[in-house]
Amino acid sequence: MKIEELKKHKKILIIGYGVEGRAAEQFLKKNCPDSEIGIADKKDGDDYLNKQNNYDLAIKSPGVRPELVKIPYTTSTNIFFSNYRGKTIGVTGTKGKSTTATLIYEMLKKQGFDAYLAGNIGEPMINVLDKLSDHPASPNRGESWTVLELSSFQLQDIKNSPNIAVMLMTSSEHLDYHKDEYGYIDAKRNIFRFQKESDLAVINRDYPASNESDILTEGKVFYVSRERETGSSCYVQGEKIWINRGGQAEEIINIKDILLLGKHNLENVVASSMTAILAGVKKEAISEVLKTFSGLEHRLEFSGEKYGIKFYNDTLATIPEAAIEAVEAFSGEVETLIAGGHDRGLDYSELGRYLVKSSVTNLILFMPSGKRIWEEVVKAGGENKIKKFEASSMREAVLIASEETESGKICLLSPAAASFGTFKDYKDRGEQFKKEVEALV
Average pLDDT of the residues of the chain: 92
Average confidence (pLDDT) over 215-231: 92
Does residue 247 share a domain with residue 231? yes
pLDDT score of 420: 83
160: domain CATH number?
3.40.1190.10
> In Å, how far from its chain's centre is CA 294?
17
Indicate if 51 and 88 belong to the same structural domain.
no
When pLDDT is averaged across residues 147-171 and rounded to a whole number, the result is 93
The last residue of one of the domains, among 77, 106, 123, is 77
Same domain for 69 and 156, yes or no, is no
pTM, rounded to two decimals = 0.80
**How many domains does the chain contain in total?**
3
Q: Which pLDDT tens digit goes with each residue over 19-54?
A: 899 999 999 999 999 999 999 998 888 899 999 999
What distance in Å separates the CA atoms of residue 360 and residue 258, rounded to the nearest whole number?
A: 26
> What's the confidence (pLDDT) of residue 94?
86
User: Is a pLDDT exceeding 60 seen at residue 372?
Assistant: yes
Q: Rounded to 5 degrees, what angle do the CA atoms 264, 268, 274 make?
A: 140
Closest CA relative to residue 363, chosen from 347, 350, 343, 378: 378
Same domain as 162, residue 191: yes
pLDDT band at 138 (very low <50, low <70, confident <90, very high): low
Three-state secondary-structure class, residue 255: helix
The answer to whether 275 touches 265, Cβ cutoff 8 Å, is no
Mean local confidence (pLDDT), 235-262: 92
User: Which residue would you say has higher pLDDT here, 135 or 381?
Assistant: 381
Same domain, 349 and 423: yes
Q: Which helix (H) or strand (E) holds 91?
A: strand 87-92
* CATH number for the domain that contains residue 345: 3.90.190.20
Check whether residue 53 and residue 137 sit in a common domain.
no
According to the model, what pLDDT value does residue 180 have? 58
- Pick from 119-128, 277-286, 297-306, 420-429 the range whose average pLDDT is largest: 277-286
Question: In terms of domains, do 146 and 203 share one?
Answer: yes
Q: Does residue 369 sit in the same domain as residue 384?
A: yes
Among 244, 265, 292, identify where a domain stops.
292
Domain extent at residue 428:
301-439
**Tens-digit pLDDT profile for residues 75-96:** 999 999 999 999 999 999 988 8
Whether 180 and 242 map to the same domain: the answer is: yes
Question: Could you tell me the CATH number of the domain that includes residue 25?
Answer: 3.40.50.720
Residue 133: per-residue pLDDT: 87
Q: Is 306 helix (H, G, I), strand (E, B) or coil?
A: strand
Does residue 232 carry a pLDDT above 90?
no
Residues 6 or more apart whose CB falls under 8 angstroms from that of 48 comprise: 40, 41, 42
Instruction: Please say if the pLDDT value at position 176 is more than 60.
Output: no
The answer on 45 and 121 residing in a single domain is no
Q: What is the pLDDT averaged over residues 169-177? A: 59
pLDDT given for residue 230 in this prediction: 80
Query: Quick one: 238 and 375 in the same domain?
Result: no
Same domain, 325 and 408: yes
CA–CA gap between residue 26 and residue 28 (Å, rounded): 5
Supply the pLDDT for residue 174. 44
Q: What is the mean pLDDT of residues 278-287?
A: 97
Looking at residues 314-322, what average pLDDT do you find? 89
**Residue 39: strand, helix, or coil:** strand
The pLDDT of residue 120 is above 90: no
Among 241, 261, 292, the domain boundary falls at 292
Task: Tell me what percent of the residues of the chain surpass a pLDDT of 90.
Answer: 75
